[in-house]
Structure 1
Amino acid sequence: MKLGVFTVLFSEKSLEETLGYVSSKGIEAVELGTGGYPGNAHCNVDELLNDADKLQRFKQQISDHGLVISALSCHTNPLHPQKKFSEPADELLVKTMQLASELGVPVVNTFSGCPGDHEQALYPNWPVAAWPSDFQEILKWQWEEKLIPYWKEKNALAESLNVKIGLELHGGFSVHTPATMLRLREACGPAIGANLDPSHMWWQGIDPVEAIKILGRENAIHHFHAKDTIIDQQNMNRNGLTDMTDYSQMRDRAWYFRTVGFGHDQKTWADIISTLRLYDYDYVVSIEHEDGLMSVEEGFTKAVDNLMPLLLREPTAKMWWT
């Protein structure tokens, strides 16, 4: 395994400054945003696709710092019912996949998207209840008319470019649980898998270790984010899982993100890392920082310090004791 970081947290720094800083902390891989919600501070898709010299210098810059690119990330909603949002998102995804292929980067991370509830809808509709039956009808329409056709096409493109698509299982989007991930993968193809972030499992009441087992059995984990979550049970009792309280109002929220080790203990994270290896994920563990109680540098550094002793770096040995 390698320890990585999603560099969007250092968007105020130049690429060169970021690479120097993270490599000095022992980071071995970077995940780069290409646009959408993460922005493209460190990776301009159009520039790199249209200028072979810039592309070569970019690759050299990464390798000069002893780093690899674990993934390119363009988290957006390509199924947004308003075309002014969905069309640029789709174009960005396609270009990001093309750039990943050019760079030899194996994974492109994004969201599944969430459609509206009919062709003239203006906003996404995320059904979260099985009854009344209206919600089931919306869900059926979304999957049959939007999700499956779109991602079947993108799976074919990914296979032609020799890249994989890592969908982040995130609330508010159609693919947000192991079950919805596997449903889409079965319908559309194996190039589609998970960019698994345990923080989003915890707030949905899902044990990340069990999520790894469910997805790992199907070889459906393409990338992994390292971020923690804390549950405030008093606020959870009041607001429930689907808490709409603004993220900035942390005292009143049912849950909020923490840096690794500040929501769950080292044993929990050791179990997560060990289960990843048990189910054959020996790729990058990419730190994502969204902790409102810590600065970027402090949250990142503490995540590195907490994860570094837990990573399993050497290949498994022969079981000499059996």
Structure 2
Amino acid sequence: MKLGVFTVLFSQKPFEEMLDYVKDAGVEAVEIGTGGYPGSAHCNPDELLEDAGKLKAFKKAVADRGLVISALSCHGNPLNPNKEHAKASHDILMKTVRLAEKLEVPVVNTFSGTPGDHEGARYPNWPVAPWPPEYREVLKWQWEEKIIPYWKEAGKFAEEHHVKIGLELHGGFSVHTPATLLKLREAVGEVIGANLDPSHMWWQGIEPVGAIKILGKEGAIHHFHAKDTVIDQDNVNMYGLTDMQSYENLQSRAWQFRTVGFGHSLKEWADILSALRLSGYDYVVSIEHEDALMSIDEGFRKAVANLKQVMPSESLSEMWWV
């Protein structure tokens, strides 16, 4: 496995300065934002697609430092009933797929999106309960009329450009659990897989090792984020796991994101990484920092240090003891 970082946390640094910084910190791979929610501070898809010289220089800057690009990321909502938002998310996804092919990057990460509840809807609707029965009707309509048709076309486009789609299993979006990911994958094909982030499993009550076993059995893990979550049971008792408070309400929130090792023990992280390797995933573990209790630099460096203690990085050897 290679240790990487989702570089949007260093958006304030110029591209090559950022590469030098993360290389010095000990990572081997970078995941780069191309637009949508992550922004495009280090990568302008229009510019790189239109200018072969700039594309070559971009690739060289990464390669000269001994780094690889694990994924391009353009998280958005192409199913949003707000047509302007949906079009922007769709357009950047298509451009990112084309750019990934040119850069020889195998994975594009994004969200599945969330539709509205009917053709005239103004806002996305995320049904999470089977009763009253109208929620099931909304969910059925969303999958049959919006989610599957959209991703069949988008998946076909990605396949034509030799790129896989890594959907982040994130609350608020239609694909947010192993079951919903596999449902879409069954309808669309193996081009669809997970950008699996344990932090979003924990707050949904899903054990990451269990999720890895489920998805790994199907070869459905295309990319992996390293981010932790801490759950405050007293606050869960008040607000539940679907806590709608701002992430800024640190003292009262039911859960919040933490740097690797500050929500769950390194033993649990060792189990996660071992499960990944056992499932056949031997690609990049990409650090994502969203810890409000640590600075960007400190949170990132502590995540690097903690993961280096437990992450297998060498190729498997023969079982000499067998």
TM-score over 0.5 for the pair: yes
TM-score normalised to the size of structure 1? 0.99
Matches within 5 A, 1:1-322: 1-322=1-322
CA distance in 1, matches of 2:313, 2:263: 24
CA distance in 2, matches of 1:314, 1:246: 41
Secondary structure of the 1:54 match is: helix
Question: Residue type of the partner of 1:86?
Answer: A
Question: Residue type of the partner of 1:209?
Answer: V
CA distance in 2, matches of 1:202, 1:187: 27
CA distance in 2, matches of 1:68, 1:13: 19
Structure 2 alignment gaps of length 5 or more:
none
For these two proteins, the number of residue pairs brought into alignment is: 322
CA distance in 2, matches of 1:300, 1:75: 21
* 1:168-198 superposed Cα distances (whole Å, 9 cap, x missing partner): 0000000000000000000111000000000
CA positional deviation for 1:156:
0.9
TM-score normalised to the size of structure 2? 0.99
Question: Residue type of the partner of 1:155?
Answer: G
Secondary structure of the 2:310 match is: coil
* 1:252-282 superposed Cα distances (whole Å, 9 cap, x missing partner): 1000000000000010000000000000000
CA positional deviation for 1:82:
1.0
Question: Residue type of the partner of 1:174?
Answer: S
CA distance in 1, matches of 2:94, 2:279: 30
CA distance in 2, matches of 1:27, 1:313: 11
CA distance in 2, matches of 1:72, 1:271: 27
Question: Residue type of the partner of 2:220?
Answer: A
CA distance in 1, matches of 2:88, 2:197: 25
* 1:234-264 superposed Cα distances (whole Å, 9 cap, x missing partner): 0001100110011000111000000000000
Secondary structure of the 2:251 match is: helix
Secondary structure of the 2:109 match is: strand
Question: Residue type of the partner of 1:7?
Answer: T
Question: Residue type of the partner of 2:128?
Answer: V
CA distance in 1, matches of 2:245, 2:85: 25
CA distance in 1, matches of 2:225, 2:9: 13
CA distance in 2, matches of 1:180, 1:3: 28
Secondary structure of the 2:165 match is: strand
Secondary structure of the 1:308 match is: helix
Question: Residue type of the partner of 2:106?
Answer: P
CA distance in 2, matches of 1:239, 1:164: 37
Question: Residue type of the partner of 1:272?
Answer: I
Secondary structure of the 1:5 match is: strand
CA distance in 2, matches of 1:117, 1:303: 40
CA positional deviation for 1:154:
1.2
CA distance in 2, matches of 1:27, 1:311: 12
* 1:204-239 superposed Cα distances (whole Å, 9 cap, x missing partner): 000000000000000000000000000000000110
CA distance in 2, matches of 1:314, 1:285: 14
CA positional deviation for 1:310:
1.4
Displacement over 4 Å in runs of 4+: none
Question: Residue type of the partner of 2:21?
Answer: Y
CA positional deviation for 1:300:
0.2
CA positional deviation for 1:318:
2.0
Identity, % of aligned pairs? Answer: 69
Structure 1 alignment gaps of length 5 or more:
none
CA distance in 2, matches of 1:144, 1:315: 43
CA distance in 2, matches of 1:313, 1:243: 37
CA positional deviation for 1:304:
0.3
CA distance in 2, matches of 1:48, 1:232: 45
